[in-house]
Amino acid sequence: MNGEVTTPSLDGVGSVPRDRYRWVALSNTTMAVFMSALDGSIVLISLPAIFRGIHLDPLAPGNVTYLLWMIMGYRLVQAALVVTVGRLGDMYGRVRIYNAGFVVFTVASILLSFDPFIGVHGAQWLIGWRFLQAIGGSMLAANSAAILTDAFPSDQRGFALGVNQIAALAGQFIGLIGGGLLAAIDWRLIFWVNVPVGIFGTVWAYRKLRDNGRRSAGRIDWWGNITFAIGLGAILVGVTNGVQPYHGHTMGWANPTVWGSLVGGVALLAAFWVIEGVTPSPMFQRTLFRIRVFTAANVAGLLSSLAQGGLQLVLIIWLQGIWLPEHGHTFSSTPLWAGIFLLPLTSGFLIAGPLSGHLSDLYGARRFATGGMLVTALGLGGLLLLPLNFHYWVFALLILTLGLGVGMFSAPNSSSIMGSVPASQRGVASGMRATFQNSGTALSIGVFFSLMITGLAHHLPSTMRSGLEAQGVPHALALHVSTLPPVSSLFAAVLGLNPLRTLLGPSGVLTRLTPTQAHRLVGPQFFPTLIAAPFHDGLVVVFTVAIGLALAAALASLLRGSSVKTDEVGRDQPDAYGAPVV
């Protein structure tokens, strides 16, 4: 009618005009992406307010673990489940699983805001419900790209994924600013902000979305799920325990349980790969890796996530814990200002994401994805050379470059992956893509945090001892305080705390110093200034590793072969499943 092509609904509701439905699918999945991105950035920027709100002591042994798992736990659950819920979408309907994800995510957001505990138990409550929230996020992430791929033709797919990326960037933008504002009022508000978006999106999804994709029978790969989840989890446990002090060592890499976790995790992941080759309904469709584009793009996506997944946390710690206090900002105001000062990063995403997605539809994904990683490496190189006390405009230009590079890479790479597989496998392919991304991000956070601690450990003790002695603290006491584990110093910087009052107060030394010396020691600027140089040593290590990973991602992207303008393997040529696509 009126020249419109209709697509039959698979749930018996009726026919939906295809041209109209694609915009319904795009707008609803865009809302889901917005909500998920908002939650990620708002939690990250509000970590000082959250942990101060539950009165978690940064100097207590092991408490930094809760900080890391508050961030990494979400990614771990998504990495472990996203392929399985993608498989469920292929089996029972992508929209059905996607809709349920909206409900789970919203309920978890409400429960997170009702934390009745303080201290360790308060942190455990938050981490536990973040796991549930991640389950809902997995259901959304695994099926949203597949829903879009079903709804849009191949020559518009990059544009649709680019629009989704705009929503993610808008969510990050609003999360960074909104988190700073809401955290200053009450940290619980940062979870409540998800609720109206989640309720509206849930109702809209149930009313308007239709299952237009092909369904395929299958079973859940329980052994694959178990070995993958425990294996990846064991590696992350080993990394987080590795930053903790052990038997007089500043870090825990001499701890046999750390290496046991790492080796055991790698062994389980190897077992997972073997299982996937023999189980009739694998979590990972290993035959998909015969498709050259699919394999190269996923490897590039994994390396990209490793290169930049933990960088936002690193930059936030740099601003909130070091640079902003040194420039006169109070700790209570640093989340807001850190969000404002990071806006060039999200602006770069916002500029490059949709543009590269549209252009990749016309000219192919390889040149944009590869170029994006090279631009990312360029931005990281600039940050590596940035002096300790930088001029903000230089920092803004460098993180803008970083944002442009990641934005150039993301949409074309995702479109390339989704367009290279059969239509019946898009849910699993989307889940595999998200698994690589989430696994890389979780590992990146843990590894970068560990590398920063390594950099701190080399010079922090001597720097702290000489700094304290310069303010009149006796040598023996300064030597004792300088043995504070580097991880505790970094955790204190993240939370915007000066631990010196706690460490020096019981000795009574503050009463024996001049008022000027005592005021300076416990003031907001002394501790950030004291640890700034050792912290910069950690940054150098992090940025050097990130540059190498970004260059490796560019090489992997280049090896996907010559990109094609249209990619209908999944839509019209299901028999091409498993064949190389060049």
What pLDDT, on the 0 to 100 scale, is given for residue 6?
Answer: 43
Contact 84, 225 (CB under 8 A): yes
* Stated pTM of the model: 0.81
Task: Provide the token pair at 216.
Answer: 């395929």
What pLDDT, on the 0 to 100 scale, is given for residue 545?
Answer: 94
What pLDDT, on the 0 to 100 scale, is given for residue 233?
Answer: 92
- Provide the Cα torsion 46, 48, 51, 56; round to 10°: 170
What pLDDT, on the 0 to 100 scale, is given for residue 321?
Answer: 84
188: which DSSP letter? T
Contact 553, 304 (CB under 8 A): yes
Our measurement of the distance from residue 410's CA atom to the centroid of its chain's CA atoms, rounded to an integer in Å, reads 14
CA distance 166 to 352: 9
| Helix or strand holding residue 227 (H, E) | helix 222-242
> What is the DSSP code string of 208-226?
H----SPP------HHHHH
Angle between helices 334-341 and 154-185 (to 10 degrees): 160
Residues of the chain falling short of pLDDT 50: 1-16, 563-582
Task: Provide the token pair at 277.
Answer: 């080759």
CB neighbours of residue 577 within 10 Å: 18
Contact 389, 326 (CB under 8 A): yes
CA distances (Å), 556 to each of 17, 111, 339, 559, in order? 40, 41, 32, 5
**Nearest of 210, 180, 203 to residue 96 by alpha carbon:** 210
Q: Is 576 exposed, middle or buried (0-12, 13-18, 19+ CB in 10 A)?
A: middle
Q: Could you tell me which residues come within 8 angstroms of residue 262 by beta carbon, excluding any fewer than 6 positions away?
A: 234, 235, 238, 239
Contact 71, 445 (CB under 8 A): yes
| Helix or strand holding residue 164 (H, E) | helix 154-185
Q: Could you tell me which residues come within 8 angstroms of residue 298 by beta carbon, excluding any fewer than 6 positions away?
A: 417, 432, 433, 436
Match domain 17-220+281-458+531-564 to its CATH number in 3.30.420.480, 1.10.10.10, 1.20.210.10, 1.20.1250.20: 1.20.1250.20
Label the pairing between strands 15-17 and 6-8.
antiparallel
